[in-house]
Structure 1
Amino acid sequence: MARSGTTKKVTRIQREKTEAILNAALDVFSKHGFRGSTIDMIATNAQLSKPNILYYFDSKETMHAQLLERMLETWLEPLEQMSGDGDPVNEICGYVQRKLEMARDYPRESRLFANEILQGAPHIIDQLSGPLRALTDRKAVVIQRWIDEGKLSPVDPYHLIFSIWSTTQHYADFDVQVQAVLGDAKNLRFEQAQVHLDTMFRALLTRD
């Protein structure tokens, strides 16, 4: 567990140091994955000594777990915001936009998640089969209701959500590839992606 969190009162300096360590750990984990990362690498990235790192966190597992917990909270929020009371196409396309904004603003978190999934999700399988599945089930019910009411073209709700995940996260997880092909500034790439994805999903979802 995080040692700095065991005291009753955490000082400002402790909070700042903890955040600096987690930021360095996120950078290392997102580049090298959990198995390829070491505390020495995190210490070098944070410009701190290894004993200093271990004063705040007793292992790389602790840092990794805390980062994954934060990431999952951020991951679920955009889908939570999709309202069953709004216009179906606008609600789904709004979700696409929020997920793309996450890919733009949280690329390291996205790669952290991707690395974890590629390893079989050993640290978050309970969260995937628990809170993530429950939320996805609830939103799939909403999407299916919209389809049954004739407000959307018939699609598989789950595979629609999967498609949104894959198309938006591509711009974080494969940003180097996208940049190599387009050679554009980051903001321009994401503006172009937003226009394309909005057009694509509206065409898919809008009934003739």
Structure 2
Amino acid sequence: MRDTKTTRPPAPETTADREIRAANKRKILKAASEVFAAKGFDGARIAEIASVAELPKANVYYYYATKEDLYSATFAPLLEEWDSALRILKVETEPAVALRAYVEAKLRLGRKNPLEARLFANEVVRGGTFLSAADRAHIAQSTAASIEVLEAWMAAKKIRKIDARHFLFMLWASTQFYADYEPIVNAVLQVKKLTAVHYEQALECIVSTVLAGVLLD
């Protein structure tokens, strides 16, 4: 006799379901950033990440199949935000305005995501093992677009002739230093924690130095 039972389709995901999933992923990524930043990839354990996130270990594996997947996911949002900051540099915007806005955005992102910034820096120091070929290609492509903007400004005689690649490296180094090496910055400034005032001072110093060096008289 043929079985006439039918399998019920899964219930459609509700708005509440999506909100729960999003909240769980945020908790996991925040906890992962803390643990990976403190202990590195090899020293981190999924059980500890789950404990910090206050979720069952099984929940972590539900969203991220492996520790490698979770590790890569922790700095993916940061790369997206850095991309967004680079898009501030546009040919039609005056260099002084665009460069100030870019430096301000990078400093703000470092202050907002210090753990993720340090985690990414540590990953690069480790050799970028978990940066996929697609990640590397994307970074090169987005950087190339910014180089084109800088070279267009040079051609229009809006800024001095410089090596655009090394200019971007310099901007990245100066703006990331405050997040990546915060304990050193705190020690030199003799403060326990950087405030908005310190970041404003950094902004003015970096921007005035950069503009003095690249703007044509």
Deviation, 1:125, is: 4.4
Cα distance, 1:13–1:174 mapped onto 2, change above 3 Å: same
Deviation, 1:120, is: 0.9
Alignment of 1:1-208 (within 5 A): 9=13, 11=17, 12-184=19-191, 185-208=194-217
Matched residues in 2 for 1:46 and 1:113: separation? 20
Unmatched segments (≥5 aa) in structure 2: 1-10
Deviation, 1:52, is: 4.0
Q: Does structure 1 conserve the Cα–Cα contact (< 8 Å) formed by 2:103 and 2:171?
A: yes
Secondary structure, aligned partner of 1:143: helix
Root-mean-square deviation (CA, aligned residues, Å) is 2.0
Matched residues in 1 for 2:101 and 2:198: separation? 18
Task: Return 127-136 or 156-165, whichever deviates more.
Answer: 127-136
Matched residues in 2 for 1:77 and 1:29: separation? 25
Identity of aligned residues (%): 31
Give per-residue Cα distances to partners, 1:167-193, cap 9 Å, x unaligned: 000000001110111024422221111
Q: Does structure 2 conserve the Cα–Cα contact (< 8 Å) formed by 1:151 and 1:207?
A: yes
Deviation, 1:128, is: 4.6
Q: Does structure 1 conserve the Cα–Cα contact (< 8 Å) formed by 2:111 and 2:179?
A: yes
Matched residues in 1 for 2:156 and 2:21: separation? 54
User: Structure 2 counterpart of 1:182, which letter?
Assistant: L
Give per-residue Cα distances to partners, 1:80-126, cap 9 Å, x unaligned: 12111011222122211111111111111211210111111111142
Deviation, 1:8, is: 6.3
Secondary structure, aligned partner of 1:124: coil
Matched residues in 1 for 2:142 and 2:59: separation? 39
Matched residues in 2 for 1:90 and 1:75: separation? 18
User: Structure 1 counterpart of 2:13, which letter?
Assistant: K
Match of 2:8 in 1: none
TM-score w.r.t. length of structure 2: 0.84
Matched residues in 2 for 1:114 and 1:152: separation? 30
Q: Does structure 2 conserve the Cα–Cα contact (< 8 Å) formed by 1:93 and 1:198?
A: yes
Task: Return 164-173 or 25-34, whichever deviates more.
Answer: 25-34
Matched residues in 2 for 1:51 and 1:86: separation? 49
Tell me which stretches of 4 or more aligned residues in structure 1 moved more than 4 Å.
none
Q: Does structure 1 conserve the Cα–Cα contact (< 8 Å) formed by 2:88 and 2:101?
A: no
Aligned residues: 202
Matched residues in 2 for 1:200 and 1:127: separation? 35
Secondary structure, aligned partner of 1:33: helix
